[in-house]
Amino acid sequence: MDNATRSERSRNAALDAALVIIARDGPGRLTLDAIARESGLSKGGVIHQFRTKEAVLKALLERQMVRFEEFSTPYRAKAQAESENPELATEIATVREAANAPNSAALALLAAMVENPDLMALPRDSDLKTIAAIKAEAADPDLAMLRWAAARGLMLGALFGMSPLPRPERDRLFARLLDDTQWNALEKPAKPRAGAAPKGTAARKRA
């Protein structure tokens, strides 16, 4: 096994151990010593990968973001051919995937929020780019944001065990959020459509 492969395996072992500790003992018990004991690595081996606890938390968030990106990239390519709002469709589908995935995403978010809220700038900055793309493609940006926010609410409720909805009902709601035909009649375009007269023009002419 070459050094790069060995290093990657050690890194992943340390991150997996960190998630176990957070789930079992809470984020306050996450230390480099605890990671070394849980993973079977030496403390020096853990420190070689992560100099601080904050570095571990940052890596956990980044790993989850990469995994969701691996899902969203091929989905986006498909949505561009099938959806009127491919960026929104991709985000809702990715959020649904997160809601139905193992709870590693929730644990990473929880630990980061408790230990260092500044780390949440990572997913927040990513969300800002996503929101900009969703608004840019939408005929009604406000309605698109409502669909986005509803999907996020379903996800967060599921991840943190707060949702009273069973998975079949949650999946049905996600499917409805994804279906553009359920929302087209509610759209109020932010800009007048080409050729449309401004409001009040007809009334002024009749006057």
Task: Give the chain's mean pLDDT.
Answer: 86
The pLDDT-based confidence of 89 (bands split at 50, 70, 90) is very high
Residue with tokens 């939408």: 138
The pLDDT-based confidence of 36 (bands split at 50, 70, 90) is very high
Q: How far apart are CA 145 and CA 136, in angstroms?
A: 11
The 10s digit of each residue's pLDDT in 166-176 is 999 999 999 99
Assess contact for 64 and 104: CB atoms under 8 A. Answer: yes
Least confident window among 132-141, 167-176, 186-195: 186-195
Residue with tokens 């986006």: 76
Q: Which CATH number fits domain 1-51: 1.20.1420.20, 1.10.10.60, 3.40.50.720, 3.30.1130.10?
A: 1.10.10.60
Per-domain residue ranges for the chain?
Answer: 1-51, 60-186
Has residue 195 got a pLDDT over 60? no
112 versus 177: which is more confidently predicted?
177
| Per-residue confidence (pLDDT) for residue 104, from 0 to 100 | 67
Percent of the chain with pLDDT over 70: 88
Alpha-carbon distances of 159 from 14, 15, 151, rounded to whole Å: 22, 19, 12
119 versus 170: which is more confidently predicted?
170
Question: Which residues lie closer than 8 Å to 88 by C-beta, 6 or more apart?
Answer: 134, 137, 138, 144, 147, 148
Q: How far apart are CA 176 and CA 39, in angstroms?
A: 42
Has residue 24 got a pLDDT over 90? no
Question: How many angstroms separate the first and last alpha carbons of the chain?
Answer: 85
Question: Hey, what are 160's tokens?
Answer: 């943190």
Q: How far apart are CA 54 and CA 68, in angstroms?
A: 22
| Per-residue confidence (pLDDT) for residue 199, from 0 to 100 | 42
pTM: 0.79
| Per-residue confidence (pLDDT) for residue 102, from 0 to 100 | 66
| Per-residue confidence (pLDDT) for residue 193, from 0 to 100 | 40
Assess contact for 39 and 17: CB atoms under 8 A. Answer: yes
The 10s digit of each residue's pLDDT in 46-83 is 999 999 999 998 998 888 889 899 999 999 999 999 99
| Per-residue confidence (pLDDT) for residue 123, from 0 to 100 | 86
Alpha-carbon distances of 122 from 22, 66, 129, 136, 168, rounded to whole Å: 20, 12, 11, 22, 31
Percent of the chain with pLDDT over 90: 57
The pLDDT-based confidence of 22 (bands split at 50, 70, 90) is confident
51 versus 109: which is more confidently predicted?
51
Taking the CA of residue 112 as centre, how many other CA atoms within 13 Å lie in the half-sphere pointing to its CB? 22
